[in-house]
Amino acid sequence: MPIPKPTRAEPAVFIALGANLGDPREQIRAAIRKLRESFRGALRASSLWESTPEHCPPGSPPFVNAVVEGVPHADDSPEQMLDRLQALEREFGRRPKKLLNEARPLDLDLITWGDEQRNSSKLVLPHPRAHERRFVLVPLHELAPELRFPGQTRTVTELVTALPPDPAFRCLGPV
């Protein structure tokens, strides 16, 4: 089933996925299968990418990352989506943080919800650090190179081009 084209009333939603415990590739694939229930129509998914852990405890294994795009159900909200993402993380074995940026079986971040901008104790949109993270920007570039994060002036292509080189960051192939 093709992904529906978002309309003004139907925002495109982007979610970043990451995992570095268990079988990260399979964790991402399984999470994408589960995420399909939260969207109207099909999801588009980037390739899988391997990244070096950033600001993580020493010895943390590499992350596998991807980004998906979908159109939410008409009666859905960003807060409801966030609740479902957090429930899915728990379903995959994520526990409350003991250490900042510790290894995890699944990490799901709501990156954008159309042009929405939010800044509450529960949710910040767009994701406050997405515009500077290679492991979000490069997979996102596959899906939406001309996207501008709400409140930002540069496109995803321009943000990716401005990133410093990272020889350890590599494409692992399709989801």
Burial of 115: CB neighbours in 10 Å, binned 0-12, 13-18, 19+: middle
Token pair in block for residue 75: 């009666």
From 76, 107, 133, 134, the catalytic residue: 107
Catalytic residue among 94, 115, 118, 148: 94
Q: What is the pLDDT of residue 7?
A: 53
Provide the pLDDT for residue 4: 55
Over pLDDT 90: what percentage of the chain? 78
Domain count, the chain: 1
Task: Tell me whether residue 104 is one of the annotated catalytic residues.
Answer: yes
CB 57 within 8 A of CB 3: no
pLDDT surpasses 80 at 102: no
Backbone angles phi, psi at 124, to 5 degrees: -120, 125
Is 76 one of the catalytic residues?
Answer: no
Examine residue 66 and state whether it is found in any structural domain, yes or no. yes
Angle between helices 78-91 and 24-35 (to 10 degrees): 140
Q: Give domain status of residue 84, yes or no.
A: yes
Does any domain span residue 50?
yes
Give the contacts of 115 (CB within 8 A, at least 6 positions apart).
Answer: 11, 150
Active-site residue, 109 included: yes
Q: Is residue 2 part of a domain?
A: no
User: Quick check: 70 and 57 in contact, CB under 8 A?
Assistant: no
Evaluate if residue 5 carries a pLDDT over 60: no
